[in-house]
Amino acid sequence: QQQVKQSPQSLIVQKGGISIINCAYENTAFDYFPWYQQFPGKGPALLIAIRPDVSEKKEGRFTISFNKSAKQFSLHIMDSQPGDSATYFCAASNSGFNKFYFGSGTKLNVKP
């Protein structure tokens, strides 16, 4: 059973637009939700993360929205740039941080 479901699989956005990627989870024991950015040939890099005690976290152009009751969280990239073109993964972990469950990834293409 997939613990974290991510959509869409791919996304095309015009430069300056808003990119939105969604994730849903089942396990209510999860309490840490990071987003990772991965460029081809590289390992993933942490972009932004949220704990369930807040509904939103913003860092620059990147915002996580978290809906605990719906067990959903999303990444919003404002003013998307061609340099943002990458694959994005959501993930979830419990408080022990001994196991992370990743979504299947979203390949974002920002067109100039």
Partner 1 sequence: GAGVSQSPSNKVTEKGKDVELRCDPISGHTALYWYRQSLGQGLEFLIYFQGNSAPDKSGLPSDRFSAERTGGSVSTLTIQRTQQEDSAVYLCASSFGQGTYEQYFGPGTRLTVT
Interaction residues for partner 1, span 12-51 (CB under 8 A): 32, 34, 36, 41-46, 49
Whose Cβ is closer to partner 1: residue 40's or residue 83's? 40
Stretch that binds partner 1, among 11-19, 54-62, 73-81, 92-100 (CB under 8 A): 92-100
96 touches partner 1 by CB under 8 A: yes
105 touches partner 1 by CB under 8 A: yes
85 touches partner 1 by CB under 8 A: no
Distance CA 99, CA 95 (A): 9
For residue 44, is the peptide bond before it cis, meaning its omega torsion is within 30 degrees of 0?
no
Residue 9 makes CB contacts below 8 A (sequence gap 6+) with 104, 105, 106, 107
Distance CA 91, CA 103 (A): 6
98 touches partner 1 by CB under 8 A: yes
CA angle 108, 34, 105 (to 5 degrees): 30
Q: What is the contact surface with partner 1 in residues (CB under 8 A)?
A: 6, 32, 34, 36, 41-46, 49, 89, 91, 96-105
